[in-house]
Structure 1
Amino acid sequence: MKRKVSYRDKLLELANIYDVREIKEYVKSKKNLTVGQIELILRKNKIVIPKDYKSSFIKDNFLKPYSKAKSDLAELKEETIKDKNRLIRKVGNFREDTARRLNYAVKTFWRTLGTAGINFLNILPKLGKTIYSFLGNSFTDVFNGIYNQQLDPKKAKNVIVGIVAVVVIATVAFNGKNYFGNIETDKTVEIKKPENKKKLKKPEIKEEVKKPELKKEIKPKVEAKKKKDVNEVILPNLNLKTETVLNLFKDVEYDLGKVRSQKLVKPIYFTQFPRDLDALQSTKLKKETFIKIVLPLIVAENEKILADRKKLKIVSGKKYTTDLEKQWIRQKLLEYKVKKGDLNELLIRMDVIPTSIALAQAAKESGWGTSRFALEGNAIFGQWTWSGQGIAPLDRDSNKKHKILKFPILRASVKAYQNNLNTHKSYLKFREKRSILREKNKKIVGLELTDTLNNYAQTGSEYTDTLNQIIKQNRLLDFELVRLVNSAKEIELSS
């Protein structure tokens, strides 16, 4: 009887044929090589392993076709589910469109009917007076004729019937004319409405185009980058001097007094602090310059978070979501470090950081924009890192290896700070208290939340007391409701 040769034996036989010493030595020393190890040694010696060594009748004729059929069936099932979802979406959209059109048709019908009724009622008093005077005069003349025997009674009867018939026909014709005339007037008004809207929109577009007066004035001093969607001024990464910055603020009429009263700030984004900011002798001017630089960055990032929050509410409320919407949600779940696809937790984390808190922490951590970390690494909030690029503190203990996280531009530092408060487990109480304020439809104000940030610094409650003092002394609560110029004002209410 012929002995069945295993795949391993075939490989050993192949090694024998090609006289592979390494394998022979392993066999002599009675060490068991695995199939993978033998294959690796053969390939290292540039020996081609025949394909038919591993092939078998069952595998080629049954297993492969079965696995292929299984994968085809899975693809078919997936395509069927996709087609089904598409069909459901189409049916849903058709149903909504039909309901919308039907409602519009019913409203139009009742509006037209109401207009016709009102017109008819308006005509009645005038028509009654006309008919009354006409009939009164006619009957007076007829009866005077009968009384004076100047008119035959039969003829008088015919005359009266004729007069009544003429009056009725005239009334119906007059009313019908008014009714159809009003319908045509309504149609004309409806057709003209979109034209009026277009005309109204044009001045707005012109205003938006004309507005970048900032950029025209800034160009002689510092080049500004232009974005199509928003009128922004982004100052490039230059070694700016404080004098240049102050002149820029003067040119664009950037005044904190106006910002406090109007609750609007211009989107001017600096990429770094001026190197000689600490040289300013006036502490008040130094603080104001710092706030003017940091405030637009904080407001811009908060508005971005609010836009994402609004989108999340809309998408999560839908029955069916598109592939792009699903991809967006997955991206946000990763960004906010939410596990198990919990959209409620994502909504809690995706929220603004009060402007007063952000400004106070930025001032405290960066020394009002004059610290070494702020000037060399755009690190406004003093975030620590053990792995990323950073700046080592000069007074760091020898047994510690932390660094202060470094950023390419100031706005990146603001974004990282907000993400830190919205995701790190140390600030869970901050997020919970903020969520409670949202549910009660209360304003998210800095002084309400500072006590939850005792984990931000090693000094604990002493740190939060310092934040409260900075907020009150510098009237930072005035900036809580500040928005960017041209941004829409939105109020969020909990359902």
Structure 2
Amino acid sequence: MTPQEKKFLRKACEYYKVSDWRYLVDRIDVIPISMAVAQSIQECGWGKSLGCLKKNAYFGMTKGKECYQYSTPERSVQAYVRTLNTHKGYKNFRAIRRMMRERNQELLGCILVKELYSYCQDPGYPKIIQYIVKKYRLSVFDLMMENMHRCMVKNNRFRQEDLDFKQYCFHLAKHSEGVKVLAKVLWKKIYKNFSELFSSAA
């Protein structure tokens, strides 16, 4: 293992809160955009909650009774992605995601959303998010991302060895294009009245 690979693994272990790099395989991957958008719709009231907008708090994550405040929408998305990739309450979510990858299945929010029972005290929360995903046909965003990923593999835009794929996913989930794509969707589709854009699908 090269010094660069060791440095990456050390940083990844710290960021994803694991003591051994062998546990990273369950934590380094993307979150389906459809699920992220649907949760944001539910948590910030279709982008109409002024409190959420002022705090850039698009996912309703709290500390005690108060919503976290973020400096930018990207920070909010990054915190959301990291929570799902590290918190013990989403262990089953990560396990199923890994299984879907191993079976070469597309990561669809309408499937993984069933494992969000730890996100909210309401036992019906996963069904609410699943309903939003299906009603507004948000799975199209997942298919776009999956097609992008497959094209990158096919065209060798990054090497296909395990470590390189993990590093790509790490950067995507942590701060690079993944957060930019998610934040772009959230900002343009929700803040600018998401409900009107998808009214034709209602």
TM-score, normalising length: structure 2: 0.70
Residue identity over aligned pairs, in percent, reads: 35
- Residue of structure 1 in register with 2:42 after alignment: 364
Q: Which residue number corresponds to residue 472 of structure 1?
A: 134
User: Aligned pair count?
Assistant: 155
Q: 2:6 pairs with 326, 329, 341, which one?
A: 326
Contact conserved, 1:384 with 1:404, CA < 8 A, in 2? yes
- Offset at residue 479 of structure 1 (A): 1.1
CA distance in 2, matches of 1:446, 1:488: 18
- 1:346 maps to amino acid: L
- Residue 336 of structure 1 aligns with which residue? 16
Q: 1:8 — aligned with what?
A: none
Partner of 1:446: 109
Q: Is the CA contact (8 Å cut-off) linking 2:106 and 2:143 kept in structure 1?
A: no
- Label 1:488 to 1:472 Cα distance change in 2 as closer, same or farther (>3 A): closer
Map residues 195-206 of structure 1 onto 2, 5 A cutoff. none
2:137 & 2:150 partners in 1: Cα distance? Answer: 25
Aligned residue number for residue 197 of structure 2: none
**Residue in 1 aligned with 2:72?**
409
Change (3 A) 1:378 1:489: same
SS in structure 1 at match of 2:151:
coil
Shift in Å, 1:353: 0.5
Secondary structure of the corresponding residue to residue 373 of structure 1: helix
**Does residue 1:379 correspond to 2:41, yes or no?**
no
TM-score, normalised on structure 1? 0.30
Aligned residue for 2:23, secondary structure, equals helix
The alignment partner of 2:110 has SS state of helix
| 1-structure distance, mates of 2:87, 2:126 | 18
CA distance in 1, matches of 2:86, 2:107: 18
2:143 aligns with 481
Assess, with a 3 A threshold, how the Cα gap between structure 1 residues 408 and 488 changes in structure 2: closer, same or farther.
farther
Deviation at 1:488, TM superposition (A): 8.8
Confirm or deny: 8 A CA contact 1:441 1:494 kept in the other structure.
no
Structure 2: stretches of 5+ with no match in the other structure: 155-159, 163-202
Tell me how far 1:344 sits from its aligned partner. Answer: 2.8
Q: Distance in 2 between matches of 1:491 and 1:369?
A: 35
Distance between the aligned counterparts of 1:428 and 1:412, measured in 2?
23
Alignment of 1:17-416 (within 5 A): 320-322=1-3, 324-339=4-19, 341=20, 343-386=21-64, 402-416=65-79
Structure 1 residues 350 and 426: alpha-carbon distance in aligned structure 2, compared to 1, 3 A threshold = same
Aligned to 1:389: none
- In structure 1, distance between residues paired with 2:52 and 2:22: 36
Q: 1:179-231 CA distances to partner (integer Å, 9 max, x unpaired)?
A: xxxxxxxxxxxxxxxxxxxxxxxxxxxxxxxxxxxxxxxxxxxxxxxxxxxxx
* Partner of residue 85, structure 2: 422
Partners of 1:373 and 1:380 within 8 A in 2: no
Cα distance, 1:494 vs structure 2: 11
Q: What is the identity, as a one-letter code, of the residue corresponding to 1:321?
A: T
In the TM superposition, what is the alpha-carbon distance from 1:379 to its structure 2 partner? 0.2
Q: Is the 8 A contact 1:438 1:494 kept in 2?
A: no
Q: Quote the offset at 1:447 in angstroms.
A: 1.3
**Aligned CA distance change for structure 1 residues 442 and 380 (closer, same or farther; 3 Å):** same
* Cα shift readout 1:358-378 (whole Å, capped 9, x = no counterpart): 110011111111113322100
CA RMSD of aligned residues (A): 2.4
For residues 477 and 455 of structure 1, do their structure 2 counterparts lie closer, same or farther at Cα, with a shift above 3 Å needed? same
Cα deviation digits, residues 154-175 of structure 1 (max 9, x gap): xxxxxxxxxxxxxxxxxxxxxx
2:56–2:72 CA contact under 8 A, matched in 1: yes
Supply the AA of the counterpart residue of 1:430.
F
Q: Is the 8 A contact 2:25 2:98 kept in 1?
A: no
Which residue number in structure 2 is paired with residue 459 of structure 1?
A: 122
* Contact map agreement 1:373 1:382 (CA 8 A) in 2: no
Distance 1:466 1:488 in 2: 30
Task: Please give the secondary structure, in 1, of the residue aligned with 2:34.
Answer: helix
SS at 1:481's partner residue? helix
Q: Aligned-pair distance for 1:347?
A: 1.7
Compute the displacement of 1:491 (Å). 4.3
Q: Match of 1:407, SS?
A: coil
Displacement of 1:326: 1.7
**Higher RCO (CA-CA < 8 Å; seq separation 6+):** 2
